[in-house]
Structure 1
């Protein structure tokens, strides 16, 4: 029997097609960050967004080993004790799934049906990747560095270990680390125990979990996950690679919610609207808030630079609320001029969607 009978090509939903059972199964297995958790500078581990492509593998710290091979002078076989004896570094990183916002697109790409909450910020501790590559001695012919995780599965008919690569220049950036701790404790199983790759500023698909090998190659990597994560208009479009996180601001919903619709209720008077903003390209420079779904904008107060380049920044705005119905939202702009759009350009994978959120709000 062929695995093609259970692993089918990617598709987009029909015009009137609701959420499928397969999408619901993915939504039950993976989870988003509740928006009220935006109150925390660092997301508690159990509330950080989570996407697992295949299964969480059975890994053990005492038997784990990381191979470093390929175009290097000194191939390595490293254990966890070796990494822990190196000089550690901690980087605070806002991580976002490349498919965040996918379920809001029309037509909807059939995959994990994220709304806007597939994000979280953590303190990752580990060893700079470039220290490990220096130890191995990268050959001058090297082009890409390939990372392979222990998670194994099949996707669109292709059986594989989860595998991604970085161009050598990206891999050697000082903020890229091999992390063995999250928020001061050992990585939990679902977040890549015992060691994962953390690439600040990039979408989540680059952050290979349950890392078991690093292979330096002298030609561009051409694996499945590099083809899968591209911005395409149709199946014939070669597309553009998904890499760094586009600017986004999210409001923490004010007041209290309706159970079913999550619409908010606030009382008239001064209401502090607060949230977080981030970009993987450049520091956040400006955040604006709208009360009418993006027709009119008001400048929010952005907190001072915290020194955490790769983490979100807090913003707030005081709203003198009067009775009525409102559509609250926010948008971010980074220091290189990228501005979060009101509407989203469609792509077949549902990637890099940073259109503004909308919070339906009743002021009474």
Structure 2
């Protein structure tokens, strides 16, 4: 993977139960999986390689099961739509990079207790569906709308309370065009796979994955802010238990390097031979358009501008970058960092928070360059 797991001797700071990090979520770690970094070569991630994180059980939805979607609350005309109704609306396809809010959590010290992602909780897909703003316009949103609440069919217990997975968006985000939120029914040109929300899910370009509610069954417009567990307790940036914290929203800039050469599985080091070594990877940001990517081959002491390819019209998808490196014998540490148009960039040392969220620490890839003629 090009990253070393946190040392097993590193003490983990246990998150308090009020932060949504508990036994159930740890048990689900076995069904969650990340992107193999070799798959960064794909412009669009195959569904089986795209990262998956589920909070509760994956709902079973047989092919022929009706799936009504309700649009209710502070609207003039409540809607009850099936898949055929949704397909009658103009379809939009957009390429979007999704990243888990906890991506990089395992690189923090002390390590927060939850899904132990290194940097692999990411993927890019082409999502097809109905712009949410069209459904809300059809329903007629009342002027006093504050939030739009989304309820999924996945179901579990938090702090002893049985509940569905629910998240909200501010009404102006839900009804806006930048980004344009989708109620999606297809991924990469095919019906949604079960683990990605079949038959309906929300896609919120530029926002971390917790906002992309899967197995979507109800949309409700409210005149007060939503204060449910996944909104006001989980997914908050806190230093100490009991703090209200700041909400997790848009994706921070990140560049990932596709590990070069071949692996030495004993040392978790990549091995290359002397001479030209092409370096490549992907970069993205949900906070502003990318301005550039830099590469370091000496553990961050010096940085060199990489060539960033155009976005191809896909504002919310990762972009390929590449840099030509001439490797010399010895040990090296490779890194890449992204900067967006607002000047936000990746830190070399990551500020800590209890949930391990929004960690866009610069990736570090140890590389050994062999001596000329040395066997790999």
Query: Structure 1 residue aligned with 2:275, among 245, 269, 294?
Result: 269
| Equivalence map 1:178-327=2 (5 Å) | 178-227=183-232, 228-327=234-333
Aligned residues: 352
2:11 counterpart of 1:16: yes
Unpaired runs of 5+ residues, structure 1, are 1-12
Q: Sort the Cα spacing of 1:15 and 1:359 in 2 relative to 1 into closer, same or farther, 3 A.
A: closer
How far 1:156 sits from its partner (Å)? 3.8
1:117 aligns with 120
Assess if the C-alpha contact under 8 Å between 1:14 and 1:107 holds in 2: no
Unpaired runs of 5+ residues, structure 2, are 1-7, 15-21, 371-376
2:4 aligns with none
How far 1:17 sits from its partner (Å)? 5.1
* Deviations 1:44-64 (CA, angstroms, capped at 9, x unpaired): 110000001100001245411
Shift >3 Å, 4+ stretches? 13-27
Q: Sort the Cα spacing of 1:84 and 1:294 in 2 relative to 1 into closer, same or farther, 3 A.
A: same
Q: Secondary structure at the match of 1:47?
A: coil
Q: For residues 107 and 207 of structure 1, what CA distance do their matches in structure 2 show?
A: 28
1:348 aligns with 354
* Deviations 1:97-142 (CA, angstroms, capped at 9, x unpaired): 0000111111111111100110000000000000000110000011
Q: For residues 243 and 18 of structure 1, what CA distance do their matches in structure 2 show?
A: 24
Q: Please identify, of 169-178 and 60-69, the stretch whose mean Cα deviation from structure 2 is larger.
A: 60-69
Q: For residues 9 and 219 of structure 2, what CA distance do their matches in structure 1 show?
A: 41
Q: For residues 107 and 25 of structure 2, what CA distance do their matches in structure 1 show?
A: 14
Q: Secondary structure at the match of 2:96?
A: strand
Q: Sort the Cα spacing of 1:284 and 1:108 in 2 relative to 1 into closer, same or farther, 3 A.
A: same
Q: Secondary structure at the match of 1:54?
A: coil
1:4 aligns with none
How far 1:23 sits from its partner (Å)? 7.8
Assess if the C-alpha contact under 8 Å between 2:338 and 2:346 holds in 1: yes
RMSD: 1.9
Q: Sort the Cα spacing of 1:164 and 1:261 in 2 relative to 1 into closer, same or farther, 3 A.
A: farther
Q: For residues 42 and 135 of structure 1, what CA distance do their matches in structure 2 show?
A: 32
1:80 aligns with 83
Q: Secondary structure at the match of 2:126?
A: strand
2:19 aligns with none
2:340 aligns with 334
| Equivalence map 1:97-136=2 (5 Å) | 97-136=100-139
